[in-house]
A and B are shown apart, each in its own frame.
Chain A
Amino acid sequence: MSDGLRVDPIACTAHGLCAELLPERIRLDDWGYPLLDERPLTPELVAHARRAASACPTLALRLGREQRARSG
């Protein structure tokens, strides 16, 4: 989970904008869905990450501290 960057997999519908706006940390898989890089965001990238998050048409890309944790 790269420093607060996460994708809501249900909301994401593979628009792919995020990979264009943040190619340093996001690439697309064979079906057009984003694969996040594990490395933390550098300070220069935070603004781009924020832009990518707000550009997502389904608001599936989120930037925050929230972590997913589940027991099963």
Chain B
Amino acid sequence: MSLAPARLPRLLASAGPGRATTLAEHLAGDGLGRPAEVAPAALREEVERAGLRGRGGAAFPTARKLDAVARGRRAVLVANGAEGEPASRKDALLLARAPQLVLDGVALAAAAVGAREAIVCVRERSTAARVALAAALAERAGSGRDAVPVRIEPIPDGYVRGEETALVRQLDGGPGLPTATPPLPFARGVGGRPTLVQNVETLAHVALIARHGADWFRTLGTDASPGSALVTVSGGVAHPGVREIALGTPLRTLLEQAGADTGALRAVLVGGYFGTWLPASVALGATLDDAALRPLGAALGCGVVAALPLDACGVAETARLARWLAGQSAGQCGPCFHGLAAIAGQLDALAHGRAAPDALARLRRWTGGEVAGRGACRHPDGAVRLVRSALTVFAAELDDHARRGPCAACRRTPLLSLPRRGADAARIEAAA
């Protein structure tokens, strides 16, 4: 089989800007055969050979989850488009632009694990995504592409609502709160049945792998992190937005494409508000794949990259994010609820030059291992990772704030965006 060329975009290839690919366009361009024609076992193997890892944040090998759920009976497939990360727009954009590709992935993965039903979760406030998804599903009715019933479930905002056990509970009519598992959803999820929870981008890659094969998938990316990924660039860049990159792309290249002034950069946040600050010098030498980021203490996560220019304040920005993340605790686990609030409080006090002399020592102790790993879900781990990296990267600024109070940059409008109330503007667009 001759391979399709190794070029970008893949996921965002089909439609023109600003609208969704229709089913007819999808079939002409990148449609698959009827899902039933791809042997389920063959797909699992192909996904394994492709080396696909989840794009929802944890980068777990997708084939392993497919196998685990396939072993159970009467499974359920949940496509995770909750996109609780405030700086991420990639899932909304993917659903708005290429809903047919995602739905193909849903149908294929459902068949591969023997699922009886599929549920596509979409962030409630992402209006364009919801509308496109509903229209795409209506177009598919009677097309024979969906072997199992598919329904759409809007998910309200909230950082932990997109966590897989929280998602399962919401789908069962409960609150959007994580559970202290085991059992995990792959063993016992929606309605007590084995449940495959997969990010919507992951499923779109599954659809492409089914169509073009594992070898093609591997023509982009690195050996350890094959394929392409959607990233959302924000912060101090001229052209923020969603881009599709080959994994292993230099971070410098991405920042330049997004119009960052790489000569006037203080730091880059990689992996989202759950992620890691890298000082500019390190960031500009890094590549965007986990094997390269891991030694730097970072991971690509859900693909959020935020640039902090020299004239912004990393202390104020981090204090603000920490306060928000603390507020996003589901409040079920003491160390998460109290610990994140205490961390945010100390950081705030430091940023305002009003901290006790032992504030930094306390912050170090709390972020050093007295909070992370102690919740039912990984929410506290992510929040702690962010603050811990800030303590290192912005050490000089922290010291300065502790002594002299807020700096000039503290008074500027914050760069890193947090959710506003009310519905999002329908303006989500690819930056390319």
Contacts from A to B (Cβ < 8 Å): 7-14, 29-33, 35, 66, 68-72
Contacts and interface: CB of A to CB of B under 8 A. Distances in A.
Contacts of A35: 370, 374
6 contacts: A10-B333, A30-B338, A33-B338, A69-B182, A72-B54, A72-B60
Contacts of A68: 181-182
B181 A9 contact: no
A71 B90 CA distance: 21
B27 interface: no
Contacts of A32: 334
B184 A70 contact: yes
Interface string B307-338: 00000000000000000000000001111101
A12 B56 contact: no
B65 interface: yes
B374 A33 contact: yes
Nearest to A9: B333
Given A13-B334, A72-B378, 8 more contacts: A10-B179, A31-B339, A32-B334, A33-B374, A69-B182, A70-B181, A72-B54, A72-B56
B182 A9 contact: no
Given A9-B376, A68-B181, A72-B164, A30 B342 contact: yes
| Interface SS of A by simple majority | loop
A71 B60 contact: yes
A33 B54 contact: no
B131 interface: no
A46 B50 CA distance: 47
- Residue among B57, B65, B335, B378 having the largest count of chain A Cβ atoms under 10 Å: B335
Nearest to B365: A30
Contacts of B180: 8-11
Interface of B: 54, 56-58, 60, 65, 163-164, 179-182, 184, 186, 332-336, 338-339, 342, 366, 370, 374-376, 378
B335 A31 contact: yes
A70 B64 CA distance: 12
Nearest to B375: A9
A25 B370 CA distance: 15
A71 B199 CA distance: 12
A11 B56 CA distance: 28
Contacts of B60: 71-72
A19 to B, nearest CB: 13
* The 9 residue pairs across chains A and B that have the minimum distance between CB atoms: A72-B58, A9-B333, A31-B338, A71-B60, A33-B334, A10-B180, A10-B332, A8-B180, A9-B376
Given A35-B370, A71-B60, A72-B60, A9 B338 contact: no
A53 to B, nearest CB: 16
Contacts of A69: 182, 184
Contacts of B57: 72
Contacts of B375: 9
Nearest to A67: B182
A11 B334 CA distance: 9
A9 B371 CA distance: 11
Contacts of A29: 335, 339, 370
B179 A33 contact: no
A48 B259 CA distance: 62
A12 B65 CA distance: 30
Contacts of B332: 9-10
